[in-house]
Amino acid sequence: MEIIINDEKVDYTIENEKSLGDVLASLEGWVAENGGIISTVSVDEKEITIGQQSEHLGKNISSVNRLSLQTSTRFDHALSTIGTMSVYIDRVVGDYLKSRNIDDYELILEGINLIADGMACSLRTLHLRSMVVVNNRGKSLTEILHDLRRLIDLYEKQYVDGDGRQELQEVLTELQQLLPKVVNWAVLKNSLYDVEMRGLEVSFLKTALLDLESIAIRTIDKFERIGENLQVGRDGEALGDLLFVTEIMDEIIYVLQFFMTAYSMDSTVLSKSDLSMDELFAKFLAGLKEIEDSFRSEDLITVGDMLEYEIKPLFQEIIDLLRRVGVFIQ
């Protein structure tokens, strides 16, 4: 059997593989190790769609003369998936939700499940946190996806009535409107050192900074809430808020590092304290680590004191830094 990957013949030694499915599984692992994913499969010059692959996987390899594969990077595949989701949303909103045909009920459920799963998979592949993708009303992708999952759970148990169709349409429209911003965040988060892609993410940088600043301002309230929840025994909620603070800080650091790289600046630029950006980040993260250790050892007094007197003021400095950087790049 001849094996072609991206129009080039490859040397492949048959070991324990007996079927076409065995060979594909082996090749899929090899492609994944090299940061890719198989996008199309052709058997003897005939492209096999995903829906048809199960019919061919059991074929004995002796019956196949030529296996051709096309691969793409996981980044490109994830972006392609986002484009496919946009098409699915158009179809669900434009056709199925307007129909009163009982048969379309299953199509609605299938469509919204594919949309939710595709979005979750793309976010993982692109290393994106949905919390930072927000619309012009401040609603995050996290909240929109939560609403979508809630509706999926509901309509797997009951028929989608008129009010349900309206709510589902609103949620899908919100998601559709955020997809361009998801793509922009994806480019920004996956090309810090890729000079060739620098133009797009620099143009998006100001929007990213404004969004992070607005999220960070709303995050201030979490510092007091963590302490309050710990005092009344709601440790799970406190840890959830602490995790949110850690993750948003990680996003802020990444974007500011991108700023310094894109504008060829060192970490002392735009700092209004004795600390450079790097020192400010290091001090904040060290404080979070100490809080985490104190949290696990149930030293709640230390957690409360550090949040109020050390972490919160540092976080406010970081918000001010985001604002100054945003003004600088105008």
Q: Return per-residue pLDDT of the chain as tens, 330 residues.
A: 788 888 888 887 777 778 888 888 888 888 878 778 888 888 888 887 655 566 667 788 888 888 888 888 878 878 888 888 898 898 888 877 776 666 677 778 888 898 999 899 889 888 899 999 999 999 999 999 999 999 999 888 877 677 778 898 999 999 999 999 998 898 888 765 454 445 556 778 889 999 999 999 999 888 878 878 877 888 788 888 888 988 998 999 888 888 888 777 766 666 666 677 888 888 888 888 888 788 778 787 787 788 888 888 888 988 988 888 888 876
CB atoms within 10 A of CB 328: 14
Task: Look at residue 197 in the predicted model and tell me its pLDDT.
Answer: 47
- pTM metric for this prediction: 0.77
Task: Look at residue 174 in the predicted model and tell me its pLDDT.
Answer: 96
Q: Which value, to the nearest 10 degrees, does the dihedral of the CA atoms of residues 212, 214, 219, 221 take?
A: 170
Nearest-angstrom CA–CA distance, 22 and 57 = 8
Tell me the two tokens of residue 123.
Answer: 């976010």
Nearest-angstrom CA–CA distance, 132 and 204 = 13
Sequence length of the chain is 330
Q: Which amino acid is at 98?
A: K
Distance in angstroms between the alpha carbons of the first and the last residue of the chain: 59
Query: In the sheet where 36-43 sits, what is the strand order?
Result: 8-9, 2-5, 66-73, 36-43, 46-48
In the numeric block, the tokens 């030694």 are attached to: 13
Checking 256-265 for CB contacts under 8 A at 24+ apart, the result is 256/281, 256/321, 256/322, 256/325, 257/192, 258/188, 258/192, 258/201, 258/205, 259/205, 259/209, 259/325, 259/329, 261/192, 261/193, 262/198, 262/201, 262/202, 262/205, 263/329
Q: H or E stretch including 24? A: helix 20-33
Nearest-angstrom CA–CA distance, 317 and 308 = 14
Nearest-angstrom CA–CA distance, 80 and 23 = 26
C-alpha distances in angstroms, 264 versus 199, 203, 260?
14, 16, 6
Nearest-angstrom CA–CA distance, 74 and 142 = 22
CB 280 within 8 A of CB 273: yes
Q: DSSP label at 197?
A: G
Nearest-angstrom CA–CA distance, 216 and 118 = 28
Tell me the two tokens of residue 69.
Answer: 């594969």
Region for 44 from its dihedrals, namely left if φ exceeds 0, alpha if ψ lies in -120 to 50, beta otherwise = left
Beta bridge partners of 73: 36
Nearest-angstrom CA–CA distance, 265 and 325 = 11
CB 284 within 8 A of CB 326: no
Q: Which amino acid is at 84?
A: T
